């Protein structure tokens, strides 16, 4: 059996485990969202600087300058009350031409070569950096995205190839204006809703999709 087959089997097994865990959490704590049950949804402006003379990824959304009016959700994964530490999530929805949109999901981690892949609890949403944990496929290779709060209103976004250095490509400014609609009705899914040039690996899809499907059914 080759490495590719082993990775596929491992991802499928991991996906089933995550699905069972999501279902168990939903049974113990019925909610519209088994994980990240409550969040703050607001609007923001994401300004992309473009690659300029720096390195490129082959992803149009990362390499080209632009301005996006985005929807942002900040939440606690377990839903523990403040000031108890929790894993924080940051979700960003970017509108795309034709009325579609792309989603990003990030969670609190570190930025080191290993810690960027490790979930880490924090006491506040702005207390630690966040990453996508799992990479996207681009022409430059496997790319991870990160978000770092400069202050309560400003978030820097960066990308890195694998365990390489970080390259800032955008700045997100939060309006702190509540978005219309109930928080429970807003659902982010980066597997279904990709951004231009950020392709989900098949093994990532196998790992994530069963848990997302279970979460959708719980609603």
Which two tokens mark 127? 């207390």
The pLDDT, as a whole number, for residue 161 is: 97
The pLDDT, as a whole number, for residue 31 is: 52
User: Over its length of 219 residues, how does the chain's per-residue pLDDT go in tens digits?
Assistant: 444 453 344 333 333 333 333 333 344 444 555 555 678 899 999 999 999 889 999 999 999 999 999 999 998 887 777 788 998 999 999 999 999 999 999 999 999 999 999 999 999 889 899 999 999 999 999 999 999 999 999 999 999 999 999 999 999 999 977 765 556 667 889 999 999 999 999 988 887 775 555 444 545
Which two tokens mark 113? 């070569």
Positive/negative CA dihedral, 190, 194, 198, 204: positive
0.85 exceeded by pTM: no
Cross-strand pairs, 103: 93
Task: Find the helix or strand (DSSP H, E) in which 89 lies.
Answer: strand 88-95
The pLDDT, as a whole number, for residue 83 is: 82
Strands (E), 88-207: 88-95, 101-108, 130-131, 136-138, 141-149, 154-161, 167-178, 199-200
The pLDDT, as a whole number, for residue 21 is: 36
Q: List all residues 6 or more positions away from 209 whose beta carbon is below 8 Å from its beta carbon.
A: 15, 191
The pLDDT, as a whole number, for residue 88 is: 92
Distance CA 193, CA 100 (A): 8
The pLDDT, as a whole number, for residue 32 is: 53
User: What pLDDT digit, counting tens, does each position of 58-80 carry?
Assistant: 999 999 999 999 999 998 887 77
The pLDDT, as a whole number, for residue 180 is: 57
Q: Which domains are assigned to the chain?
A: 38-199 (2.40.180.10)
């Amino acid at each position: 059996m080759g490495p590719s087959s082993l990775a596929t089997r491992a991802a499928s097994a991991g996906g089933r485990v995550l699905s069972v865990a999501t279902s168990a959490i939903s049974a113990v704590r019925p909610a519209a969202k088994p994980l990240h049950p409550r969040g703050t949804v607001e609007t923001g402006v994401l300004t992309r600087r473009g690659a300029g003379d720096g390195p490129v990824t082959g992803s149009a959304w990362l390499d080209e300058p632009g301005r996006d009016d985005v929807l942002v959700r900040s939440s606690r994964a377990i839903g523990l009350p403040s000031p108890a530490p929790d894993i924080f999530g940051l979700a960003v929805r970017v509108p795309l031409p034709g009325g579609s949109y792309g989603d990003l999901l990030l969670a609190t981690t570190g930025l080191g070569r290993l810690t960027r892949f490790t979930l880490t609890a924090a006491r506040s949403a702005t207390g630690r950096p966040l990453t996508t944990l799992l990479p996207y496929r681009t022409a430059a290779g496997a790319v991870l995205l990160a978000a770092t709060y400069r202050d309560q209103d400003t978030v820097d976004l960066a990308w890195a190839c694998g365990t390489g250095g970080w390259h800032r490509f955008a700045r997100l400014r939060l309006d702190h204006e509540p978005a219309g609609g109930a928080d429970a009705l807003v659902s982010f899914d980066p597997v279904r809703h990709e951004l231009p040039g950020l392709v989900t690996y098949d093994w990532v899809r196998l790992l994530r999709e069963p848990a997302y499907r279970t979460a959708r059914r719980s609603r």
